Structure formats: C-alpha cells, structure tokens
Structure 1
C-alpha cells in the first residue's frame, strides 16, 4: 500500500461525517504504519510527518 492510496482512501470519507472521517483515517494510519514498519522506520517517520500536517485539514474539511 502506497501513501497515496492511504490519502485517497481517507479523502473519500470527507463526504461523510467528521467522526467517520477521523475513524477511517485512524484505521488507515494504523494499518499503513504497521505495513511500512516491515520495510523501514525511516518511511514511518516521513509518513507520520505527512499525516501530522494533513490530519487537521482533513478534520476541518469533514465538519463542513
């Protein structure tokens, strides 16, 4: 699973409620981190920074 797959899957939840958006995003983060942990902790650090930057924006969009 690529980072873009996780982001696009999370973005599709914006049409639902904010709670559903957050729930789906958390599940995707957990599954993506455990998947990438097999390969490299460096990838996880990059992914965590990306999610840290984008998660507040996703939550804000979900409340509209």
Structure 2
C-alpha cells in the first residue's frame, strides 16, 4: 500500500522496484502490482525503506505488516 497523497515524488520506490511501483499523472507513487511475487520482497522492502516520507506499507499474504 502506498499513500499517494503524502508522496514526495522522490522516485526511490520506482528505482528499487519498478515492476511494483509507478507514478500517476501528477508524478506521485502508484502501486502497479499490489501482489508482487515473493522473489520481489527484498526490492519492495528496499523501496519502502528508501521512501523519505514513509508512505509505503508492506503486508504479507495474511495482512500482517512487515515492519
């Protein structure tokens, strides 16, 4: 999940996980793959950690937050 309304449009998420995160017409983060394969988990966590506004939350298949 990404909270676009709080995005700073730094692009770190798109650089870390380009098949999971994109941008909308205003340049804000947009999730393009809400259920990425498990082999992308490291990239998704890197994207979350690189976000200067901390607007990306990552959950497992059961809905538990991966802190």
TM, length-normalised to structure 1: 0.33
- Relative contact order higher in (CA < 8 Å, ≥ 6 apart): 1
TM, length-normalised to structure 2: 0.32
Greater C-alpha radius of gyration: 1
User: Comparing both structures, which one devotes a greater share of its residues to helix?
Assistant: 1
User: Comparing both structures, which one devotes a greater share of its residues to strand?
Assistant: 2
